Structure 1
Amino acid sequence: MGNLAPARWSLSAAVALTAALTAGAGRADAADLPIIGGGSGIVIANTTECTLTTIGHDDAGRLVGLTAGHCGEPGQSVLSETDPNAGVLGRVAASNHDLDYAVIEFDPDRVAPSDRVGSVSITAVGGPARFPATVCKKGRTTGTNCGVVWGDVFASGTETWTQMCVLPGDSGAPVVAGSTLVGMVNAYLGVGCVGPEVGTTMAAIAADLDATHGVGAGFQPARGADQGVPAAGGS
């Protein structure tokens, strides 16, 4: 399952991209709502398995989330991988293929947003991590792991390369420094978990969202209770 991530222009001068990552009425009882946060497995258009980067609110008060842009197109449905019977939780509102991120508008009556999934919590959005920092990610396929930051290899101003293990389905996974969201997983080079991983910085995504003045502009992460929810496919 899943689509191949398109190679982005800043990678074309490097090695070939050998794999890409894909990877009705509201419920009456809030306790039954699916808990969704950065690192949760999601299914887009009933076919593509990806990972939610984060969930929160934009400056218009909408409940929104982010994932990789190659995971879905505007209008496509979004379901919880771990609770598919909950039905459609939201839809893709916008997809930017240059920066490879998508915005999801969730139905607040059908989702319980969380700032923590498993061992990864997101309390803030920050600038790009730089060498030799270590960052971690939470993907629906490979779970939680960490690696050294190589930095913006081609000085694109939008990317960070790391040595984290990622596989198909980890697309969109949050990249965190502590509890600060600094990027998302978009692609990997090489074979399997040999790496490196390539991702878009949250600084670039946030700036683009704010410039569009659309769904997701002014994004702030949710400050929900610590749910400790495991992501599908990994610990």
Structure 2
Amino acid sequence: MFNKLARAARAAFAVAVGAALLGTGAGVAHADPGPAIGGGSGIIVDNQYECTVTTIGHDSAGRLVGLTAGHCGEAGSQVWAESDRGAGVIGTFAYSDHDLDYAVIEFTNVVPVNRVGNVTIASLGAPAQFPAIACKEGRTTGNTCGITWGDVFQTDETWTQMCVVEGDSGAPVVIGNTLVAMVNAYLAVACFGPEVGTNMSAIMNDMNTNHGGVGAGFTPI
């Protein structure tokens, strides 16, 4: 009888403690929502390459996907958030297109945002034209702006006079809050020679018509 009473008392005590903890919020586990990722966020690819996310959003199948420069990785490459390496792998390259130099990343365990640093992405737009002032947000040089030269050789690329260096690859190029291109390279001397980036209109068309699957029907957050 004593053992039965003791067990009953212990059970009642456990229930009472559990209720008290729930009432105060103590002892309740919460899942880590993951790092905030958006256009301008720094990423580490395959634990060796540093690049920048162009934008993040959902494709037509509801997958959380983002873009970066194609030379940053290949299909299957793993992605870490530069701001929170401890969060582990947050995404995987679905594919890289080396003709237009862009890649699609499928993300997991991240908080998608449309503003990083001084750049907010509200929409996608047509290529920038001379003499518009374009800006970018890169993981290496941050926010820089410069005059737009346009698609100099009619190759789906826009030339601008923004400062970019290694690690800024993939950075969003915006006119106001409109994403118009990504950073892919610089010519001659870093931050002095023109920056060259693929137009978003060309990337969206290629994603939808030539690749399909992951990324198709992309809409930014």
TM-score (norm 1): 0.80
Aligned partner of 1:193 in structure 2 is 191
Work out which of the residue numbers 177, 180, 191 in structure 2 matches 1:179: 177
CA deviation after TM superposition for structure 1 residue 192, in Å: 2.0
Q: In structure 1, what is the Cα distance between the partners aligned to 2:30 and 2:165? A: 37
Q: In structure 2, what is the Cα distance between the partners aligned to 1:214 and 1:176? A: 26
Q: CA RMSD in A?
A: 1.1
Higher helix proportion (structure 1 or 2): 2
Q: In structure 2, what is the Cα distance between the partners aligned to 1:150 and 1:35? A: 33
Which deviations, in whole Å up to 9, do the C-alpha atoms of 1:33-52 show, x marking residues without a partner? 20000000000001000000
CA deviation after TM superposition for structure 1 residue 162, in Å: 0.3
Alignment of 1:64-213 (within 5 A): 64-107=65-108, 110-156=109-155, 158-211=156-209, 212-213=211-212
CA deviation after TM superposition for structure 1 residue 152, in Å: 0.7
CA deviation after TM superposition for structure 1 residue 161, in Å: 0.3
Larger Rg: 2
Alignment of 1:26-37 (within 5 A): 28-30=30-32, 32-37=33-38
Aligned partner of 1:47 in structure 2 is 48
Which amino acid is 2:133 matched to?
T
CA deviation after TM superposition for structure 1 residue 28, in Å: 4.3
Q: In structure 2, what is the Cα distance between the partners aligned to 1:56 and 1:122? A: 11
Q: In structure 1, what is the Cα distance between the partners aligned to 2:190 and 2:196? A: 13
Structure 1: where are the runs of 5+ without partners? Answer: 1-26, 223-235
CA deviation after TM superposition for structure 1 residue 133, in Å: 0.6
Q: Which has the higher contact order (CA 8 A, sep 6+)?
A: 1
Aligned partner of 1:229 in structure 2 is none
Structure 1 segments, 4+ long, off by >4 Å, are none
TM-score (norm 2): 0.85
Structure 2: where are the runs of 5+ without partners? Answer: 1-28
Q: In structure 2, what is the Cα distance between the partners aligned to 1:28 and 1:113? A: 19
Q: In structure 2, what is the Cα distance between the partners aligned to 1:100 and 1:216? A: 15
Q: In structure 2, what is the Cα distance between the partners aligned to 1:214 and 1:131? A: 35
Which deviations, in whole Å up to 9, do the C-alpha atoms of 1:24-83 show, x marking residues without a partner? xxx9435x5200000000000010000000000000100000000000000010000010
Q: How many residues align?
A: 192
Q: In structure 1, what is the Cα distance between the partners aligned to 2:186 and 2:59? A: 30
Which deviations, in whole Å up to 9, do the C-alpha atoms of 1:3-43 show, x marking residues without a partner? xxxxxxxxxxxxxxxxxxxxxxxx9435x520000000000
